[in-house]
Amino acid sequence: MNIFTLDMTNVLSKTIGKEGLHKKDIVSTSSKLKTYNKTLWDAPYPFMELPSLMFQFKEMGQLADTIKKKHIKNLVLLGIGGSSLGTETIFHALLHPFHNLHEDMRNGKPRYFILDNIDPHKMNRVIEITEKEKDNTLLVVISKSGETPETISQFMILKETLGKEKNFRDRVVIITDKNKGILKEIVDKEGYAVLNVPEGVGGRFSVLTPVGLFPSLVMGIDIDEIVNGAKDMAAHIREKPYKENMAITLASILYLMERKGKHIHVIMPYCERLSGFADWFRQLEAESLGKNHLGATPLKSMGVTDQHSQLQLYVEGPKDKCIMFLYSAQEKRLIPRSFSYIESIDYLGGKDLKDLFYAEFIGTRLSLTEAKRPNFTLQLENINGYNLGALFFLYEMVITYLGYLYNVNAFDQPGVELGKIYTKALMGKKDLVKERKTTNRALSNSKTLISF
C-alpha cells in the first residue's frame, strides 16, 4: 500500500489553463535537480545522515529510563522555533488531542507544557501548576546555540521557582551544542544531564535529533518508528528517477509556481493531527528560503475550519497563491437521524462523518480548481510515527532542492540573527554598545502616535 500519494493534476495547465504549469516545465526543472541529487548524496548535508546515524539513541534511551523512575507528572519544554516546533508536531500528531486534560487520556505519561514564547502570562500560569508538583516536574531546555535569550531567561526563572527542591538537578535535561555556548557552560558548572545537537544540523532541521526525539521518548512515543520512516523516505529520494521522485517533483512545482507569481504557498491540512506540521513547515520554508529578496511566503490554513474564514480569499482574491493540501482520515462516526422531520438536513442522517469530511475536502479542491487556482494534494494513508518521519524528511529535502534552485543558502538565517542582537542590546548586554545606541535612537524617534 502507498503511504503517500501526490496528486498534481490541479497545478497543470491542461486542468486550470494559463494559471497552471506545463508538465514539460516540471520535467525540465526536475531534470536540473537530477545531477544535483546525485552530487548531494555523494556529500550530504548533516541532517540527511540523521535517519541512518541514529544519533545518541543509546544515551536518550538510558536517560529516559532514569527519568521514568522519578514518576514525572509534568514535562516542561523550554525552546523556541526549531527547538520546539518539531516536538509540537509529533505530540499533536501522535498523542491524544486532550492528553493534558485527564489521566485517562495520558496512560501514565506526564502532562506537557511547551514554552515557545516568553509572554509572562503563559509563564506564570505554568509556574502556578508546576510549583505544586516540583518534585515531579522535568525541565527539558533546548537551544542549539546555547545562547537563545528567550530560552535562557525561561530557564533562569524556572530554576528560581523549582530549583530549591531536593534533587532538582536530576530533573533537568539540556539539549545543546557539544562544544560551545552558555548552556554548555551551565552544564559543565552545575552537572545537568545533557544531550547534543549534531554538528552542522540547524534548529529547523533538528527534529530527528534529540531535540525532537528525546521529549517524544519521554512521552512514550516510538522514536524508532519515526526514524525508520525518514530512513525509507531518504532511500526513495536518493534512488528514485527524477520523474518519479516525490521530493524533486514537489520542489519543482513550488519553485515554478513562485516564479509564475504564486508568491504565497498555503499549506492546508485536512487532518487536525497535522496542524503542528503546518506550523513546522512555515518556519522551514520561510527561514530557509526568504533571502536576497527571494522566496515564497508560507501560510497555514486548516480544513475544514478555514473554509469558513479563508476560502473566499483563495477562490476570488488575488491570484498569488498555490494551495498545498495534506489529507488523511481513517476514523468513522455515524451521523444519526436526529432531526428526521427537517427535510433540508435529512441528507446527512445515516451518513458517516468521515464521508462528510472527505466531501468537504473535495468540494474545496473543486471550487479552487474551477476558479483556476492551482492546488495539489498529498494524501497520507495513515498518521503514525513512520509516516510522520517520512513527511519530515520529505519536506526537509524539498526545501534543500528549493535552496539550490533559488541559489540561496537554505541553512542560515541572517535576518533572524540581527533581531537577536538588537534584543540583547536592549536588554543591556555589555559588548553591544553600538547596537544599543541604534535601538535607543529608534525608540526615541517613535513619536508618531495615536492614542485611545
Beta carbons within 10 angstroms of residue 434's beta carbon: 8
**Closest CA relative to residue 248, chosen from 450, 19, 41, 436:** 41
Just list the catalytic residues.
287, 308, 420
pLDDT at 374: 98
Check: CATH 3.40.50.10490 for 4-40+226-406?
Answer: yes
Percent of the chain with pLDDT over 70: 99
Enumerate the β-bridge partners of residue 12: 21
**Which of 300, 359, 365 is closest to 11 using CA atoms?**
365
Contact, 91 vs 217, CB < 8 A?
no
The confidence band for 446, taking pLDDT boundaries of 50, 70 and 90, is low
Closest CA to 285 of 185, 180, 401: 401
- Which residue is listed with cell 518508528? 225
Domain pair 4-40+226-406 / 50-221, same fold: yes
User: Which residues partner with 114 through β-bridges?
Assistant: 77
Buried b (16+ CB within 10 A) or exposed e, 243-268: eebbbbbbbbbbbbbbebebebbbbb
Residue 39 has pLDDT above 60, yes or no: yes
Q: At 443, which helix (H) or strand (E)?
A: helix 433-444
User: How far is Cα of residue 389 from the mean position of the Cα atoms in its chain?
Assistant: 12
What whole-number percentage of the chain has pLDDT above 90?
Answer: 86
Residue 201: name the closest of 224, 177, 235 by CA.
Answer: 177
- CA dist., res. 377 & res. 397, Å (int): 18
Give mean pLDDT, residues 331-345.
94
CATH T-level topology, domain 50-221: Rossmann fold (3.40.50)
Give 166: exposed, middle or buried? Use CB within 10 Å, 0-12, 13-18, 19+. Answer: exposed
Scan for cell 523512575, then name that residue. 69
- pLDDT higher than threshold 70 for residue 447: no
Give the C-alpha separation, 285 to 278, whole Å. 11
User: What is the C-alpha separation between 389 and 229, in angstroms, rounded?
Assistant: 5
**Rounded (10°) CA dihedral 413, 419, 420, 426:** 170
pLDDT value, residue 204? 96
Closest-CA residue to 421 (of 446, 441, 438, 442): 438
Task: Check if the beta carbon of residue 421 is closer than 8 Å to that of residue 432.
Answer: yes
pTM equals: 0.94
Taking only Cα atoms into account, the Rg of the chain, rounded to an integer number of angstroms, comes to 24
Dump pLDDT digits (tens) for 389-433.
Answer: 999 999 999 999 999 999 999 999 887 777 778 777 777 887 787
Give the side-chain half-sphere CA count within 13 A for 372: 10
Q: Is it the case that residue 302 has pLDDT exceeding 80?
A: yes
* pLDDT tier, 448 (very low <50, low <70, confident <90, very high otherwise): low
* Greater pLDDT, 305 or 1: 305
- pLDDT tens digits along 87-136: 999 999 999 999 999 999 998 999 999 999 999 999 999 999 999 999 99
**What is the pLDDT of the chain when averaged over all its residues?**
94
Phi, psi of 148 (to 5 degrees): -65, 115
pLDDT-based confidence at residue 138 (cuts at 50, 70, 90): very high
Cell of 114: 511547551
Amino acid occupying residue 252: S
Per the CB < 8 A criterion, the answer to whether 99 and 106 are in contact is yes
What is the pairing mode between strands 111-115 and 137-143?
unpaired
So what's the pLDDT on residue 429?
81
Determine the pLDDT at residue 25. Answer: 97
Q: Any idea where the domains of the chain sit in the sequence?
A: 4-40+226-406, 50-221
What are the tens digits of pLDDT across the range 239-281?
A: 999 999 999 999 999 999 999 999 999 999 999 999 999 999 9
The whole-angstrom separation of Cα 31 and Cα 52 is: 27
Separation between Cα atoms, residue 29 and residue 251, nearest integer Å: 9
**Can you tell me the distance from the alpha carbon of 213 to that of 228, in angstroms, rounded to the nearest whole number?**
13
pLDDT score of 435 = 76
Residue 1 clears pLDDT 60, i.e. is over it: no
Q: Which DSSP letter does residue 197 get?
A: P
Q: What is the dihedral of CA 106, 111, 116, 117, to 10 degrees?
A: 130
For residue 451, the one-letter residue type is S
Q: How confident is the model at residue 305 (pLDDT cuts 50, 70, 90)?
A: very high
CA 369, CA 10: separation in Å to the nearest integer? 6
pLDDT mean over 324-347? 94
Strands 137-143 and 74-78: parallel
Cell of 236: 526513495
- Residue 71 predicted with pLDDT over 60: yes
Residue with cell 536540473: 32
